[in-house]
Amino acid sequence: MEKFIKLKSIPAHIPLMNIDTDMIIPKQFLKTIKRTGLGKSLFYEMRYDESGKLISEFILNNDPYSKSKILLAGKNFGCGSSREHAPWALLDFGIRCVISPSFADIFYNNCFNNGILPIIIDEKLIQELSEYSKRKEEIEVNLTEQMILYGNKKLTFDIEPAKKKRLLEGLDNIGLSLKKIPNIEKFENSMNKTKPWI
Amino acid sequence: MPKTLYDKIWDDHLVHEDSDGTALLYVDRHLVHEVTSPQAFEGLRIQGRQVRKPKLTLAVPDHNVPTTDRSKGISDKQSKIQVDTLRNNCKEFGINLFDVNDKRQGIVHIIGPEQGFTQPGTVIVCGDSHTATHGAFGSLAFGIGTSEVEHVLATQTLIQKKSKNFRVNINGRLPAGVTSKDVILKIIGTIGTAGGTGYVIEFAGEVIRNLSVEQRMTICNMTIEAGARAGLIAPDDKTIEYFKDRPMSPKGENWIKAIAHWKKLFSDSDAKFDKEINIDAKDIEPLVTWGTSPQDVSPITGEVPDPEKEKDKDRRTAMYRSLEYMGLKPKMKISDIKVDKIFIGSCTNGRIEDLRLAAKLLKGKKIASDVSAMVVPGSGLVKKQAEEEGIDKVFKNAGFEWREPGCSMCLGMNEDQLSSKERCASTSNRNFEGRQGRGGRTHLVSPGMAVAAAIKGYLADVREIN
């Protein structure tokens, strides 16, 4: 997994609440057996009309937003299904940081398994940052400092230390958990005695 | 210290806990389907890792299998690749698979309990958000991403942070025509689609106790639509009775031991909940959704809301967007909304009791002439049972199509989709934009309400059908 340390980009703002995983990546693209190649289908129904042509009003279809690495969105981003295709599509498009007042639980966890940083900040601050999107000015996200720098201002955000470490170091969760095999074996041995039907 | 049901199951599965509360949780049961697993198996292969406990995983293709005759295989190329890939992966890693033409094949959340693979007090995960369904049996069950599927396959554990405790009490008795689908829609309408974020919700109260286990499954199934990690209902005698003699249920001495364990699975009377709400059953009517979020609910006797009356600006914007997508005007009567399609099925409402209830209302009647309707049983065994009871004939005589089991039009990954602007009364769980097909308009309803809509050709009140 690619490390996440800091990132500079003109943010793209999609001012909608409850952006669900069906909007992020519709079902017809879930038939893949790969993790890559989903970027062109990100937000498919908002990005393309029924004949497959780009819809010019949609923000990600326009420069410089077509190269945005940071997405600003309304609350409850990523609600709906558990499909990891949603973060895969964002990542494949080039988005490595999503900033929203709140996230759906499964989507939030999926981000950390893909080197994407989801940041939770107040709605008012999203509005402030959206001005930078409008003016096509870069903002900077610094994970080490837990800070977003914009203009001559800065704001701080919260993140669980373990999740922060994972992103900063690009750690492989499975590798880490496999080091705990003795604990797992001990648990299984005890379970075999107390709950033999499992 | 007094514990909630969630606390008890959590503590019982804790393999390791870091000082910051990051826990390694043991997974007793893992369900796998064709859509969210190929990349996980591929990950194992790339790293040269094995499946730690193949017997604790059960696999079934359900999301994109056709529901028409499939004896000649799957014609959609990509769907076929996914289903073939699942078969090959199961073979390579030694995992039990109910393949497409196995009579036990069906929606993953229906076959788990049906086989007794699901059990009270266990931790159950699956790469599917509706894994919450299994919470109806007092198991801690939740959806995970594909990276986590890979983690479970390799380690039989999951890295988790504990959620907070939330209890929803449904008190009193349900009025006539109101089902568990209406109960969960009412809850989502009350707390909102993010109302449960950060929590595990335990459902309790007289209404829950009086529901059958299958009806309870409908409630836990849609807990995810309220944003919660999982939904839970304490097991009781009905739960124990349900699991008796299921193919994968504990047998003999183990059955006795298991029951003793299951009987301890309840929240202590003085357990502390971080949040608690009460809903009176008499305030619940047969409900429908009018918008593109499961929280957009209205009684069937009501009208489409007016966004101008909404104070929150973002919510108002979302309402306008929903109404435009849905092709509805503020203040129009819900019962004046004309439907084109009816879908009965899904992990929310595709079980035998759902089909029985629908067939009872439908018997001897015909669907409206300009409506098309389909029933997709939740599993091969549900289908078989229904056919033995003559339920298929009731549906077919009324004008419904009777299909093969799968997820079908709930998410439209196979051919079963809505066309643009087509309007559907659906017993499924999500009314998101494009969910059932690009431009398709979904109204979530109970099976009884789906039958009422099929007969009248409009969203209709089940209480007026007799």
The model's pLDDT over A53-108, given as tens digits with 9 standing for 90+, comes to 999 999 999 999 999 999 999 999 999 999 999 999 999 999 999 999 999 999 99
Residue A57 burial class via C-beta count within 10 angstroms: exposed 0-12, middle 13-18, buried 19 and up: exposed
Provide the pLDDT confidence category of residue A33 given band limits of 50, 70 and 90.
Answer: very high
- Beta carbons of B38 and A33 less than 8 Å apart: yes
Give the mutation candidate from B77, B123, B146, B416 for the A interface (greatest A CB count, under 10 A).
Answer: B146
Count of C-beta atoms within a 10 Å radius of residue B181: 27
Is 80 exceeded by the pLDDT of residue B325? yes
Q: How far is B148 from chain A (nearest CA, A)?
A: 8
Q: Which residues of B touch A173 (CB under 8 A)?
A: 147, 151, 159
ipTM here: 0.95
Is B35 in contact with A83 (Cβ distance < 8 A)? yes
Partner residue opposite A184 with nearest CB, options B15, B255, B293: B15
**Interchain proximity A31–B159, CB inside 8 Å:** no
- What's at A139, amino acid-wise? I
Q: What whole-number distance in Å separates Cα of residue A98 and Cα of residue A117?
A: 6
Where is B354: in which H helix or E strand? helix B352-362
Cβ distance B452 to B464 under 8 Å? yes
User: What DSSP string describes B38-69?
Assistant: HHHHHHHHHHT---S-GGGEEE---SS--SS-
**Residue B241 in 3-state DSSP?**
helix
**Partner residue opposite B193 with nearest CB, options A18, A114, A123:** A18
Does residue B107 have a pLDDT over 80? Answer: yes
Average pLDDT over residues B71-76: 90
Length of chain A: 198
Q: Which two tokens mark B173? A: 């008795």
The position carrying tokens 């109101």 is: B178
Evaluate if residue B418 carries a pLDDT over 80: yes
Nearest beta carbon to residue A27 from set B16, B24, B413: B413
Does residue A182 belong to the interface with chain B, where contact is any CB pair within 8 Å? no
Average confidence (pLDDT) over B422-436:
97
Residue B466 has pLDDT above 80, yes or no: no
How far is Cα B406 from Cα B66, in angstroms, rounded to an integer? 8
The DSSP call for residue A194 is H
Label each residue of B288-325 as H, E or C.
EECCCCCCCEEECCCECCCHHHCCCHHHHHHHHHHHHH
Q: Average pLDDT, stretch B314-329?
A: 96
Given a cut of 90, is residue B388 above it in pLDDT? yes
Contacts of A184 in chain B (CB under 8 A): 15, 24, 26, 52, 155-157
Q: Do A184 and B155 touch (CB under 8 A)?
A: yes
pLDDT at B72 over 90: no
| Inter-chain touch A26–B16, beta carbons under 8 Å | no
CB pairs under 8 A between A and B: 184
Is the predicted pLDDT of residue B440 greater than 90, yes or no?
yes
> Is the CB of B28 less than 8 angstroms away from the CB of A160?
no
pLDDT at B78 over 90: yes
For chain A, first and last CA: distance in Å?
Answer: 34
Specify the length of chain B in residues: 466
| pLDDT for res B332 | 98
Q: Which of A30, A79, A110 sits opposite B35 (nearest CB)?
A: A30
Residue B269: which pLDDT band, with cuts at 50, 70 and 90? very high
H or E element that contains A70: strand A70-73
Contacts of B261 in chain A (CB under 8 A): 195
Looking at residue B91, its pLDDT comes to: 98
Closest Cα partner for B294 from B410, B431, B445? B431
Whether the upstream peptide bond of residue B305 has omega within 30° of 0, thus cis, is no
Pairwise CB contact (< 8 Å): A174 & B155: yes
A114 to chain B nearest CA, in Å? 8
* Nearest CB neighbour to A105, from listed B131, B197, B434: B197
Q: What b/e sequence results for B128-150 when a residue is b if at least 16 CB atoms lie within 10 Å of its CB, and e otherwise? A: bbbbbbbbbbbbbbbbbbbbbbb
| Model pLDDT, residue B290 | 98
- Alpha-carbon distance of A105 to B143, in angstroms, equals 10
Residue with tokens 């989903």: A38
Q: Is A23 within 8 Å of chain B by CB?
A: yes
Question: Is there a contact between B176 and B283 (Cβ–Cβ < 8 Å)?
Answer: no
Distance between CA atoms of A198 and B13, rounded to whole angstroms?
12
Does an H or E element contain A120, and which? strand A117-120
- Please tell me the distance from the alpha carbon of residue B431 to that of residue B417, in angstroms, as a whole number: 13
CB < 8 Å to B47, chain A: 174
Alpha helix positions (H), B121-195: 146-155, 180-191
Q: What is the least distance, in Å, from the CA of B176 to any CA of chain A?
A: 31
Q: How confident is the model at residue A172 (pLDDT cuts 50, 70, 90)?
A: confident
Share of chain B above pLDDT 90, in %: 98
* CB within 8 Å: A20 and B432: yes
Buried (b) or exposed (e) across A102-122, using 16+ Cβ within 10 A?
bbbbbbbbbbbbbbbbbbbbe
Q: Of A32, A75, A84, which is closest to B147 when you measure between CB atoms?
A: A84
Give the C-alpha separation, A37 to A54, whole Å.
18
Q: What sign does the dihedral A158-A163-A165-A167 (CA atoms) show?
A: negative
Set of chain B residues whose Cβ sits within 8 Å of the Cβ of A49? none
Neighbours of A190 (CB within 10 A): 10
Residues of B with Cβ-Cβ distance to A102 under 8 angstroms: 194, 197
